[in-house]
Amino acid sequence: PNMDRNGDLDPTEASKSPSVRDTFSKKDDEYPEKKGEKKGTDPPNKSSHYDFYNSIGCPKYVVAPMVNQSELPFRMMCRKYNADLAYTPMIHAGLCLRYKGSRSGGGRGRVPFIDSVFATCAEDQPLVAQFCANTPGAFVAGAKMVEGRCQAIDLNLGCPQGIAKRGHYGAFLLEDTRLIREMVTTACLHLKTPVTCKIRILPKEEDTLALARTIQECGAQILAVHGRTRDMLQEKLGECDWDIIKKVKQQLKIPIFANGGIENFEDCKRCMAHTGVDGVMVSEALLENPALFSGKTIDNLDLADEYIEFFHKYKHDPVGGFAAKGHLYKLLYKDLCYYTDLRNNMNKANIEYLLTVPGIIRKRREEEKSTEKIKAMGTWYRRHRNRAIENEKRQRAKEAKLQAERKKTEDEDDHFLSNFFDDTDDDGDE
């Protein structure tokens, strides 16, 4: 569609747009399924709200959108281990418009911004491309740059980071129902590709449910719900609220994905049983264990070696080079907590050195017989929780120490006063 100078849609384009009904009435062959994909054991839902979900194979195990981490090599590794659907890293729609040919393309010279942050391949299906935006025009314009290369376009309404607050997008749009309605409705009218949304919950349950209903009414085909508020980060992480996700699922007619609180494959099954959702979306735990959806236990060094193979195989992804250090750090987290010298070396190393670290660790494990000690180290997934527990212990110890010091001072005062007023002289002898 035509855009004005601010990236908003030309109002005259609305009259030319297909109806919402026409936009959603797509043929199955417009959403090619992954070759050889195994269908779920549950029969497809017959509701018309499930047409798109059914057409992409009824995915249950979903790779979440993660900035610089859910790139092509990592997505393909997760697909090998039973992931049914994957999201791209968040793409900034405004930057797609602002920088149409002025960013390094990883050795390919100057390329449009979208080609420096998005890459896929024939086997990378079904795929959802996620965008952040704060105007309908920017969202639609950015999404059009990847139409035909993905099966859906997702609007990020869940990013809680400071950069999202400064840029006014992600979870910092959650209270702006009017803007969300405009963006989702406009995208559904002007895109040929189905639109989905990912949100965090709001502090009040009724506000979360109202927002979810609004997103469904605007035409979103799938809603992913992270059961935490935007303030629940790092040491303030807290438990994921599966109960509110269950209520969203009960009230909406479109497919719902649950996000948050998944550490292992057993958690996937528990979450689906508790909430009744159509799929579970996982982020942090997958970074440490890309084989999570398979239910298999695989040594992290073997997973790191395998990731490096995928990194080389899909080296055309420009995000891959930025992502490699982060992936290896998380895959090798326990080892790097034990071998702190390697962790320090990785912080300032080039990609060539990074790719040799798994081999270095394997050799040192064998020489030092350290495997069991490393297994006892804390996990990447629990780092914030463990840190919060340690902070709480330190706080309790500090309070106990202050209380002991106050009591000691009070005892000393009592002793002084007792001696001062206690006349021990025997006046009767005088």
- Rounded Cα distance between 223 and 254, Å, is 7
Instruction: Give start and end residues of each alpha helix (H) in 264-422.
Output: 265-275, 284-288, 300-313, 320-331, 333-338, 340-347, 351-354, 357-368, 371-375, 383-421
How many other CB atoms are there within 10 angstroms of residue 260's CB atom?
26
* Owner of token pair 């000690």: 373
* Contacting residues for 386 by C-beta, under 8 A, at least 6 apart: 378
Q: Which stretches of 34-176 are DSSP H helices?
A: 51-55, 72-80, 93-98, 113-117, 136-144, 162-167
Which of 96, 159, 197, 240 does the annotation list as catalytic?
Answer: 159
With beta carbons less than 8 A apart as the criterion, state whether 282 and 64 touch: yes
> Residue 150 catalytic?
no
Which residues are 9's β-sheet partners? 3
Cross-strand pairs, 111: 103
* 233: its two tokens: 């980060």
**H-run or E-run covering 131:** strand 127-132
Q: Of 36, 35, 86, nearest to 60 (Cα)?
A: 86
| CA dist., res. 155 & res. 183, Å (int) | 9
For the record, the structure tokens of 203 come out as 């502090």
Using a 10 angstrom Cβ sphere, with 0-12 exposed, 13-18 middle and 19 or more buried, the burial of residue 110 is exposed
Catalytic positions are: 159
